[in-house]
Amino acid sequence: MDWTAAADIYCERLGDGFWAEPINALTNLAFPIAAAWAAVTARQRRIRDPIVWSLILLAAMIGVGSFLFHTVATRWSELVDTVPIWGFVGLFVVAALRFLAGVSGRSLAFLGAGVMTAAMLIAYFATGEGGVGTGRLNGSDQYAPALVAMVVFVVVAYRRKHPSARWISTATLVFAASLTFRTLDRDICATFPQGTHFLWHLLNAFVVGLLLQMLIRTGGFADAKAR
């Protein structure tokens, strides 16, 4: 694969310039904002868990990676875009298993290794030919595992009457909407040249913010707050 090859797959991009996708690029500021929201909440609750803070860092990095992809627009920047996203997804699943489902010890280590490996493989194979911006769903099918995982957590949370239920259900609905806008982007260029990818950024950042708030507020960190 030629990692320096151009990647022109969104409605807004009409040229080769760095700022050829200004709205798609600048809406990535929503991710550092979501990370800052989580950081403030975590500090207020005196949470020092490295998994929580790693997720907050990854949330900010999603914005950085996506900004590079929508400005540099090459295959290497596409990989820089996808790795933080799937790193966040994989680590969040591990965090949910630990703090929301109560999995620990060797079981958590085994499941965590499997989840993170799968997430990184998806990130790699979603890059380049056959990856982002291709196929009938405009590459959105790569996010099907994330949507399925969220639906599973919704069912589990409601069955266990866990306080995270409303948070995760809201995040899942918003994520479904964001995926819809991401999928439509390529197919409506003729009628809406700006496209709808920027809504994927804004809504997805909101999803990330909701998931982080859910983890911080309902993950059983009461003891940390009391110290």
The tens-digit pLDDT sequence of the chain (227 residues) is: 677 888 788 999 888 889 999 999 999 999 999 999 999 999 999 999 999 999 999 999 999 999 999 999 998 998 899 999 999 999 999 988 887 777 777 787 888 788 888 878 877 676 654 444 456 677 788 888 889 989 999 998 999 899 999 999 999 999 999 999 999 998 898 899 999 999 999 999 999 999 999 999 998 775 444 43
Residues comprising the chain, all counted: 227
Is residue 171 situated within a structural domain? yes
Other residues' Cβ atoms within 10 Å of the Cβ of residue 110: 11
Q: Give residue 136's pLDDT.
A: 67
User: What's the pLDDT at 134?
Assistant: 54
Spatial neighbors of 72 by CB under 8 A, at least 6 apart, are 18
Q: How far apart are CA 102 and CA 111, in angstroms?
A: 13
Q: In this structure, are residues 49 and 91 in contact, taking their beta carbons and an 8 Å threshold?
A: no
Residue 80, SS3 per DSSP: helix
Per-residue pLDDT of 52-91, as tens digits, reads 999 999 999 999 999 999 999 998 998 899 999 999 999 9
Exposure string of 122-148, with b = 16+ CB inside 10 Å and e = fewer, is: bbeebbbeebbbbeeebbbebbebbee
The answer to whether residues 61 and 89 touch, using CB atoms and an 8 Å cutoff, is no
Query: Which pTM was predicted?
Result: 0.89
Q: Residue 130 has what pLDDT?
A: 42
b/e per residue 28-44 (b: at least 16 CB within 10 A): bebbbbbbebbbebbee
10 lies in some domain: no
Q: Quick one: tokens of 80?
A: 């820089």
pLDDT of residue 15: 83
Domain of 102 in residue numbering reads as 22-219
Find, among 139, 49, 154, the residue nearest to 85 by Cα. 139
The CATH number linked to 169 is 1.20.1070.10
Answer yes or no: is 16 within a domain: no
CA 12/CA 225 separation, integer angstroms: 45
Q: What are phi and psi of 74, to 5 degrees?
A: -125, 170
3-state SS class at 74: strand
List the beta bridge partners of residue 74. 6
Within-domain flag for 7? no
CA dihedral 133, 134, 138, 142 (to 10 degrees): -90
Q: Hey, is 11 helix, strand or coil? A: coil
Which pLDDT score, from 0 to 100, does residue 1 have?
63
Q: What is the structure's pLDDT at 4?
A: 82
Tokens read off for 79:
């990989």
Is residue 133 assigned to a domain? yes
Residue 110 lies in a domain: yes
Q: What is the pLDDT of residue 53?
A: 96
Domain-embedded: residue 14 = no
Residue-level pLDDT at 107: 81
Number of domains in the chain: 1
Q: Give a yes or no: residue 225 inside a domain.
A: no
